[in-house]
Structure 1
Amino acid sequence: MTLSQIEDSHGFSYPPLYKRLAQDGMLEVGEYGPDWYRLVFPTLKEHPTLLLHADDFELLNVKGVAEAMEELADAGDYRQIDPAFQFIPFAQTGAGDHYCFFASRQQDGEMPIVLLWHDQNEAQYLAKNLHDFMFHMLLHAMADQDTYNEVSDEEFRDQLEKTLTTHARYLTPQQGEVLQALLARDLIDYEVPLPKGRKEVHRGLLTDIELARLREQFIPYDKFDSYFAYSTAG
């Protein structure tokens, strides 16, 4: 199965950037399985594939994309997706929610990115196109060191440096400059407010407030974080 065959089977066209990523090998993550993290992941770390180190982001290979599309289009699928909506999955979260191109809302050459929740009748707008989505996810990666898995400061910075090496060519020069400037910073600990007066400590190169400001400055999107129902069932 190829991307062209998926396009022909489902009647849509991938964004040029996604095709370029495929041509450059940025989507080649191998076959997932019990030993993927132990055997395959180490081979990708030196030249990270698309958002390899992003939080809660598992890139689908072409086979995985084809299988996910068949599931979403199946009339018997439990999500009962409205046929008026065409979602093209390209990645998933650890819980099984899908990052998708929202093909049926393409406008002026821009195909929005949404998160399709698997356990509730909602899809969430994340970016107006793949280019902006990548930049936003890279900002998130810089803002949130994986202290849960005890990633050291040195390893965190090394991951980001190698990621920028493979991703910079897909960003605007200005976006690349922003990320390089952030990478030159010292790491900081900061608090993120939670409901009921609680707080959560994070560590990274920028705070959540700075991230939101940079998003508004460089990739504004009026639908960001808004939701809509994807099924009319029930």
Structure 2
Amino acid sequence: MTLSEMERQHGFTYPALYRQLERDGMLAVGEYGPDWYKLVYPTLTERPTLLLHADDFELLSVKAVAAAMEELADPDDYRQIDPALRFIPFAQTGAGDHYCFFASSRHAGEMPVVLLWHDQNEAQYLAKNLQDFVFHMLLSSMADQDTYNEVSDEEFKEQLANTLGTHARYLTPEQAQILQTLLARDIIDYDVPLPKGRKEAHRGLLTDVELAGLREDLIPYEKFDHCFAYSAAG
């Protein structure tokens, strides 16, 4: 199954940027399996595919996209998605929620990116288009070093530098320059406030407050983080 075949079968058009990424090999992650992380992942790290190092983001192969689209369109699927809503999955979280292009909300050539939750009747707006989504995910990666898996400062910076090397051409010059400037910073430790006076320790090249400010300044989107029901049965 090719991207063009899926467009014809399901009656939509992919964003031009997604097609460009596919032509450039940025979607070629191979087939996931028990040995993927050991055998395939190391071959991708020097020239990372789309958001390879992003937190909780697993890019779907074209074959996996086709299978996911069939599931979402199945009237017997447990999510009971309203057939009037067109979701085109392209990645997923570790829990099985899908990152999707929301074809039903295409406006002025822009196709929003949403997160389709698998265990609740909600889809969440993430960005007004794929380019802004990629930029926001890269900002988020810079703000949050993976200390849980003990990624060292050197590994963290190397992953980001390699990622910027393959991703910068798909961003606006301003977005790419912002990321390059952030990459030159020293890593800092900061706390993120939580409810009831609690706080959570984080480490990265910018704080959550700076991240929110850059998002609002550079990729403003009035629907960001808003949710809507995807099933009339829910």
**Which residue number corresponds to residue 48 of structure 2?**
48
* Mapping for residues 86-97 of structure 1, pairs under 5 Å: 86-97=86-97
Unaligned runs of 5+ in 1: none
SS in 2 for 1:220: coil
CA RMSD, aligned part only?
Answer: 0.5
Partners of 1:5 and 1:177 in 2: CA distance = 37
**Which residue number corresponds to residue 111 of structure 2?**
111
Q: Work out the percentage of aligned pairs sharing the same amino acid.
A: 78
| TM-aligned CA deviation for residue 194 of structure 1 | 1.0
SS in 2 for 1:66: helix
**Which residue number corresponds to residue 122 of structure 1?**
122
* TM, length-normalised to structure 1: 0.99
* Mapping for residues 32-181 of structure 1, pairs under 5 Å: 32-181=32-181
Partners of 2:196 and 2:96 in 1: CA distance = 28
| TM-aligned CA deviation for residue 156 of structure 1 | 0.2
Unaligned runs of 5+ in 2: none
| TM-aligned CA deviation for residue 198 of structure 1 | 1.0
Q: Does 1:196 align with 2:206?
A: no
Partners of 1:227 and 1:31 in 2: CA distance = 31
Number of residue pairs the alignment of both structures matches: 234
Partners of 2:67 and 2:149 in 1: CA distance = 30
Partners of 1:187 and 1:160 in 2: CA distance = 12
**Which residue number corresponds to residue 212 of structure 1?**
212
**CA shift digits 1:43-94 (9 cap, x unpaired):** 0001000000000000000001000000000000000000110000000000
| TM-aligned CA deviation for residue 197 of structure 1 | 1.3
Q: 1:4 is matched by which residue type in structure 2?
A: S
SS in 2 for 1:189: strand
**CA shift digits 1:6-35 (9 cap, x unpaired):** 111100000000000000000000000011
Q: 1:81 is matched by which residue type in structure 2?
A: I
**Which residue number corresponds to residue 225 of structure 1?**
225
SS in 1 for 2:217: helix
**CA shift digits 1:118-173 (9 cap, x unpaired):** 00000000000000000000000000000000000000000000000000000111
Partners of 1:60 and 1:115 in 2: CA distance = 14
Runs of at least 4 residues of structure 1 off by over 4 A?
none
Partners of 2:197 and 2:32 in 1: CA distance = 40
SS in 1 for 2:79: coil
Partners of 1:35 and 1:200 in 2: CA distance = 33
SS in 1 for 2:90: strand
Partners of 2:204 and 2:66 in 1: CA distance = 36
